[in-house]
A and B are shown apart, each in its own frame.
Chain A
Amino acid sequence: MRYLYYPGCSLKGTARDYEESLLAVIPALGIELQELGKWRCCGASAARAKDSKWARALASATLAIAQDYEMDILMPCSSCYANHVRVLLETQKGEVPVELTGLRRIPRVKHLLEVLAQDLGPDEIRGQVVRPLTGLRVLPYYGCLVGRPFRLGGTESVENPQALERIVQATGAEALAFPWKLDCCGGPILFSHERVAIRLAGQVLKEAVRLSPHCLVVVCPLCHLMLDGKQRAVEKEMGQRFGLPVLYITQLLGLALGLDPRRLGMHRLITPSETLLARLGRP
């Protein structure tokens, strides 16, 4: 299995731990990655709000560069993923942007979660687990864009996807049913309406701790920033202490594969994860 790896801006910045754990875990699972060197920003939340043509041009630029590699593109960020899938779907409907006209082959775009849950599959992952995370109570949190508006992998439900649960279970951990798993973390409006954004993240964290989990697991850098990075601000706003570690799915997988927590960027988490690692006997 080979994929073209599109990191996106966050994985080179605030989500450095996501990239570290991804680059450690994905090859360990037998998947070959080749980083796309000349990738461009997907347009984030800005491009589509300004000009549709610009948004299409940004996503198309990356797709056009990627056509030479004859591989599907793997994207770890939900926002990058959704922005690119949108352009691909528009193209299929016949609205081909100039950047993509005349391309020999238009590459497919897959979210990391899709690659793990569908292309690789939980059984394959289970077979490679050397340190099962037995007894660990994990809350899977999807956020918005990985499963909405486009069905993950074309098949998952938009209201109750199960891909993340299957991966969590494959590590030996318990995947708790979390009714707020698709609620918005507030990330996109953090800088324009900070209080509202903090309240949205607070809602998720408040409902999360009621289920007494050992950690939350996410698949998006922005969800992680809101729930891990801003957790202290959220605690202040909500007047409630959470202290809930928030891990990327790749970090959870890495722990189950027996990889060194430092290689997984666990030391970069803002909300301390020492108790979690101690529980797993991995201080």
Chain B
Amino acid sequence: MSMGNEKDLRSMTPKENLPEELLPAIQCVQCGKCSSGCPVAFETSHTPRKLLRFLQWGWLEDASRSPFVPLCAQCQTCTVRCPRGIDVSGVVLALQRTGRARGWIRPDSFHKTLEEMIERTGRVSELRLGLLVAMRRLPVHPLEDLILFFKMLLRGKLG
């Protein structure tokens, strides 16, 4: 699916395209308050405001595949600041759920591991979680993380 101007906006029928939980996004007035306060917006070209715009146009798949969706830290700043009362962080999570249900996006290895752990045991073992994630992907600061691992172990913080 491309994201160019070739889309015929007049043919878009957002309300029919969107799942019910995403309908509040249509109320957005594009003021940008969500994006100016967003701590991770500097990392991608897509801001929360842009995602809401996509939804207003009915571009559900584009919104869901946006690089912003997995980046969002769920800090809730946009949600408490939206003058239209849209739960913007909730919209981002709903996009994640929709995208996963429709096979557009997949959870990263960390979330996959976390989900499996909660499903299986009902609780999270941070030691196992950390090790499993580290095994699947080399950490950015291997030396610092190794030192941290031993420090935590010595201090009894790893179970």
Residues of A within 8 A of B (CB): 9-10, 12-17, 40-41, 43-52, 58, 61, 144-145, 148-149, 158-159, 182-184, 186-189, 191-198, 200, 203, 229-230, 232-233, 236-237, 267-270
**Taking the nearest CB of chain B, how far is it from the CB of A159, in angstroms?**
7
The reply to whether B97 and A233 contact each other, CB–CB distance below 8 Å, is: no
Min CB–CB distance A158 → chain B (angstroms)? 4
Q: Does B39 contact A (CB under 8 A)?
A: yes
Given known A-B contacts A158-B80, A268-B155, A270-B155, A13 and B40 have beta carbons under 8 A apart: no
Instruction: Report if B108 contacts A (CB, 8 A).
Output: yes
In the bound complex, residues from chain B placing their C-beta under 8 Å from that of A237 are 141
CB pair A267–B155 under 8 Å, yes or no, is yes
Whole-angstrom CA separation of A220 from B43 in the bound complex: 25
Interface-lining segment among B45-53, B56-64, B142-150: B142-150
User: Are A193 and B152 within 8 A (Cβ)?
Assistant: no
Instruction: Determine the residue in chain A with the shortest Cβ distance to B133.
Output: A191
Interface membership of B83, Cβ < 8 A: no
What separation, in Å, do the CA atoms of A200 and B155 have in the docked complex?
26
Most buried by A among B75, B122, B139, B148: B75
- Which of A14, A144, A194 is within 8 Å of B126, CB to CB? A14
Give A157's nearest chain B residue, CB to CB.
B80
Interface residues of B, dominant DSSP: helix
Give the residues from 21 to 64 in chain B that come closer than 8 angstroms, CB to CB, to chain A: 21, 39-40, 43
User: Assuming A193-B43, A270-B148, what are 19 further A-B pairs, CB within 8 angstroms?
Assistant: A12-B159, A13-B124, A13-B126, A40-B123, A43-B118, A44-B118, A45-B111, A58-B118, A144-B74, A188-B73, A189-B72, A194-B139, A194-B141, A200-B39, A203-B39, A229-B148, A237-B141, A268-B157, A269-B155
Q: How large is the interface on B (under 10, 10 to 19, 20 to 34, 35 or more residues)?
A: 35 or more
Q: Which residues of B contact A233 (CB under 8 A)?
A: 140-141, 144-145, 148
Q: Residues of B at under 8 Å CB distance from A? A: 21, 39-40, 43, 70-77, 79-80, 87, 89, 93, 96-97, 100, 107-108, 110-111, 114-115, 118, 122-127, 133, 139-141, 144-145, 147-148, 151-152, 155-159
Q: Which of B79, B100, B155 sits near A50, CB closer than 8 Å?
A: B100
Q: Which residues does chain A contribute within 8 Å of B114, judged by CB atoms? A: 44-46
Instruction: Identify the interface centre among B115, B125, B145: most chain A CB within 10 Å of its CB.
Output: B115
Give B49 Cβ to nearest chain A Cβ, in Å.
Answer: 18
- Report how many A-B pairs have Cβ atoms within 8 Å: 147
Contact (Cβ within 8 A) A189 B140: no
State how many angstroms separate the Cβ of B118 from the closest Cβ of chain A.
5
B93 / chain A contacts, CB cutoff of 8 Å:
48-49
Task: Verify B148–A149 contact, CB threshold 8 A.
Answer: no
- The minimal Cβ–Cβ distance linking B106 to chain A, given in whole angstroms, is 11
How far does the Cβ of B100 sit from chain A's closest Cβ, in whole Å?
A: 7
Q: Quick check: A148 and B79 within 8 Å, CB to CB?
A: yes
Which of B40, B77, B118 has the most chain A CB atoms closer than 10 A to its own CB?
B118
Chain A residues with Cβ below 8 Å from B157 are 13-17, 268
- A51 near B97 with CB under 8 A, answer yes
Of all chain A residues, the one with the shortest Cβ separation from B148 is A229
Task: Pick from B100, B110, B118, B148: contact of A192, CB below 8 A.
Answer: B110
Whether A49 contacts B107 in the complex (CB less than 8 A), given A58-B118, A183-B39, A192-B70, comes out as yes
Contact partners of A230 in chain B: CB under 8 A: 144, 148
CB A56 to nearest CB in B, in angstroms, measures: 13
> What are the 3 closest A-B residue pairs judged by CB atoms, nearest first?
A191-B110, A13-B126, A184-B75
Question: Which residues from chain B contact A187 at a C-beta distance below 8 Å?
Answer: 73
Q: CB-CB < 8 A to B158: which residues of A?
A: 13-14
Task: List the B side residues contacting A9 at CB < 8 Å.
Answer: 123-126
Collect the chain A residues with CB atoms within 8 Å of residue B111's CB.
45-46, 49-50, 192
Most buried by A among B123, B151, B157: B157
